[in-house]
Structures are given as structure tokens and as C-alpha cells.
Amino acid sequence: AALPPPRTRIFKIIVIGDSGVGKTCLTYRFCAGRFPDKTEATIGVDFRERLVEIDGEKIKIQLWDTAGQERFRKSMVQHYYRNVHAVVFVYDLTNAASFRSLPAWIEECKQHSLGTEVPRILVGNKCDLQDSVQVGTDVAQQFADSHSMPLFETSAKDPNSQGGGNHRDSDHVEAIF
């Protein structure tokens, strides 16, 4: 008898950060290959998927995008943080407040056992807006180091624009996930 087809493994990655930092645009860019025409504020939880091939195996990457936990109902929060393989923290590098919120987001994840035991990365989005930068690369890099995370400055809008981080050559949405 023919063998059943191998099951596609699913990797669940949650994308976290203040409203407006570009979480929806980043996940859209990764899954649909382009910047969305328009985005509506995410209501509750939304997820997008993309099949990728790694070492000859097809893997499903599932990106969970949120409106911000404060709007979640408790049952939703449990569901959101369950079976997470990796966490992407996003701030907007043209918005200092979104950077100052990071410790609270990191703490929230730790409360759900998503600390150093899972891969975590820090993403400074909107690096296409170089004239409006409020969060410098040095400060962001220091923060990332202190939390043992790699930093990527990127742009969901213009993936070719260069961030100033340590990942100059790979600074685009494709590389961060």
C-alpha cells in the first residue's frame, strides 16, 4: 500500500508589539510577498501562513498577528500563547513609545513561559523612514543584547531599504523569519 503523505510540520510564530508598528504589514509581506494596499486595525487575533522548504522538507510557517493583548479576552490569550515556537517583538523605529513598550511585551511573554527557552528576535520596522528615526541603532542593539536577542532593522514597505543594524546584508523581511 502507498505510504500516507508526510504531515507538514507547522511552526507557530507570534508577532508582538504596540499597535501601529507594522505587525500586519510585516506578516502580509512575508506571506503574500508585497505590502498590503490598505490595512485595517487587527481585531483579536489573525494569522497568515506560508509554506517554505527547509532542508528538503516543506514546513508551514504560521504567523500570528494581534491587536494587542489588552483587547483579548482571557481565553483568547491562553490560545494565543499555546504551542509557540518563536516570538518576534516589533517596534517602530520612528516611534520611541513603541520601543519603550518592549519590556512590558517581553515580560508578558515570560509570564507565558516564552522567555529565553524559545527563539526570540527583535525587529525595528519602518527603516525606510530614515529621516524620522527616533530609536537609534546603538540603543536598540544594546537593548537587544541585554535580552539576548538578535536585532533586525527592516521595512515591510520597502524591503530594499537598509537598516543600520548588524544585519546589513540580510535586512529584509525574508531574512528575519
The contact set with Mg ion (CB under 5 A) reads: 23-24, 42
- Residue 95 interacts with ligand GDP (CB under 6 A)? no
Tell me phi and psi for residue 76, to 5 degrees. -65, -40
- Residue 25 interacts with ligand GDP (CB under 6 A)? yes
Answer with the entry of Mg ion, ligand GDP, none that 128 interacts with (C-beta below 5 to 8 A by kind). Answer: ligand GDP
Q: Which stretch binds ligand GDP (CB under 6 A): 13-21, 53-61, 74-82, 133-141?
A: 13-21
Residues 6+ away with beta carbon under 8 Å from 28:
34, 35, 36, 39, 48, 156
Pure H helices in 91-165: 96-100, 102-111, 137-146
Answer with the entry of ligand GDP, Mg ion, none that 20 interacts with (C-beta below 5 to 8 A by kind). Answer: ligand GDP
Residues 6+ away with beta carbon under 8 Å from 156:
22, 25, 26, 28, 29, 35, 125, 126, 173
Distances 136 to 123, 131, 140, 157, 167 between C-alpha atoms, Å: 13, 12, 6, 19, 15
**Binding residues with ligand GDP: total (CB under 6 A):** 16
Answer with the entry of ligand GDP, Mg ion, none that 156 interacts with (C-beta below 5 to 8 A by kind). Answer: ligand GDP
The three-class DSSP label of residue 77 is helix
Residue number with CB closer to Mg ion (27 or 137): 27
Q: Which stretch binds ligand GDP (CB under 6 A): 56-64, 71-79, 101-109, 122-130?
A: 122-130
Distance of closest approach, residue 15 Cβ to ligand GDP, in angstroms? 8
Residues 6+ away with beta carbon under 8 Å from 97:
18
- Residue 124 interacts with ligand GDP (CB under 6 A)? no
Answer with the entry of ligand GDP, Mg ion, none that 29 interacts with (C-beta below 5 to 8 A by kind). Answer: none
Residues 167, 137 contacting (CB under 8 angstroms): no
Query: Could you say which residues in the range 129-158 bind ligand GDP, by CB under 6 A?
Result: 129, 155-157
Interface residues with ligand GDP (CB under 6 A)? Answer: 19-25, 39, 42, 125-126, 128-129, 155-157
